[in-house]
Amino acid sequence: MSTIKIEDIAHVRFSAPDLAAMKTFLEEFGLAPVASEDGVLYARGAGDQPFLHATTVGEPGFQALGFRAESLDDLKILAAAEGTQVAPLNAPGGGFVVTLADPDGNRVEVVAGQTRAKPQTLPGGAIRNDARDKARLRASTRMDACPAHVVRLGHAVLEVKDFRASEAWYKSRFGFITSDEIEGAPGFAVGAFMRCDRGTAPTDHHTLFLLQSPAAPRFNHAAFEVADFDDLMRGHTHLKKAKRTPAWGVGRHILGSQIFDYWKDPWGHELEHWTDGDLFTAEDGSHKASFQDLLGVQWGPNHPMMAG
């Protein structure tokens, strides 16, 4: 049994020496800056979360991972179990936060009670003509050149020193369920894709991925859902024209099935656009997978670690 069961991932926090440069990159990536008076650069997507990405001035680095609890009562339960306090959240949307540190010292912010933002209108999806069905007749598809439309934050990946210790820490507090456990060799687990436990409600194949790594502790990447495949590709085109640094993509993952496209911010932090991911319930169980499954693709370029 876990202390609470989180609803979803909420946000990621970074530090960077130039907020103006970060703001320009985030806009090109498809996030919208949010006005604030605390000197922090916040950015939101088209969904109802008040912010998804936050940056403070400082040396480049990953600062925190945020999860969303179901209620303020859950925050109180978590705070009591951890011997800490529920505090006001000084950020867009307000609300409250419990701040913890995971086994690698990563700051983990669990939030609740935020005022949701007004969702923004997404562009209409293309009506497709394929070999199975011709639904678009006597009309053309035309799309404006623009950044992708980020809707929400879907997951984050952390490289950890001791996978089993980190796995136990996150599961015992937040109720994660393993979707796919990664084995470096038969019987030797080095990581896991973990989803939220929302009972019978389908949830993303993974909200958090932990991977044991000699480089740990290290932020690996954060992944943002975009409107659809066409939106992902126009985002790819926009970032390429802006001469941003690509990291991996476009392709379709094996584990989670997402169509993906990875880019680096000006300081090397990887952010992913994705669409068309798997959804599972608590009843769908757990599976084992290999490094080939982790780094391979159904189509598209292999991970740079497997290049050649």
Name the band, by pLDDT with cuts 50, 70 and 90, for residue 306: confident
Q: What is the CATH number of domain 8-115+149-306?
A: 3.10.180.10
Helix axes 19-29, 229-241, angle to 10 degrees: 140
- Residue 284's pLDDT band (cuts 50, 70, 90): very high
Our measurement of the distance from residue 83's CA atom to the centroid of its chain's CA atoms, rounded to an integer in Å, reads: 28
Report the pLDDT averaged over residues 103-107: 98
Lowest mean pLDDT among 123-137, 156-170, 207-221: 123-137
Half-sphere exposure in the Cβ direction for 294 (13 Å, CA): 22
Whose tokens are 């950020």? That residue is 91
Question: Is residue 215 a contact partner of residue 4, using CB atoms and an 8 Å limit?
Answer: no
Span 124-141, pLDDT tens digits: 889 999 999 999 999 999
pLDDT of residue 308: 54
Per-residue pLDDT band at 307 (split at 50, 70, 90): low
Is the pLDDT score of 209 beyond 60?
yes
Q: Rounded mean pLDDT of 240-244?
A: 98
H-type alpha helices, 65-220: 72-82, 163-174
Strand-strand pairing, 218-226 and 245-253: unpaired
- Is 16 strand, coil or helix? strand
Residue with tokens 């997951």: 155
Q: For the chain, what percent of residues have pLDDT higher than 90?
A: 94
If you average pLDDT over every residue of the chain, what do you get?
96
Answer yes or no: is pLDDT of 227 > 90.
Answer: yes
Residue 84 near residue 74, CB atoms below 8 Å: no
Higher pLDDT, 186 or 111: 111
Mean pLDDT for the stretch of residues 184-196: 95
Kindly list the distances between the CA atom of residue 89 and the CA atoms of 31, 93, 110, 121, 243, in Å, as whole numbers in the listed order: 21, 8, 10, 27, 36
Q: At what angle do helices 163-174 and 72-82 cross, to 10 degrees?
A: 130
* Mean of pLDDT values over 46-66: 98
| Rounded Cα–Cα distance for residues 219 and 62 (Å) | 6
221 CB burial (10 A radius; 0-12, 13-18, 19+)? buried
270 falls in which pLDDT band (50, 70, 90)? very high
Going from N- to C-terminal start, the domains of the chain cover: 8-115+149-306
> In the predicted model, what is the mean pLDDT of residues 232-258?
98
- Give the mean model confidence (pLDDT) for residues 115-123: 95
In the predicted model, is pLDDT for residue 33 greater than 80? yes
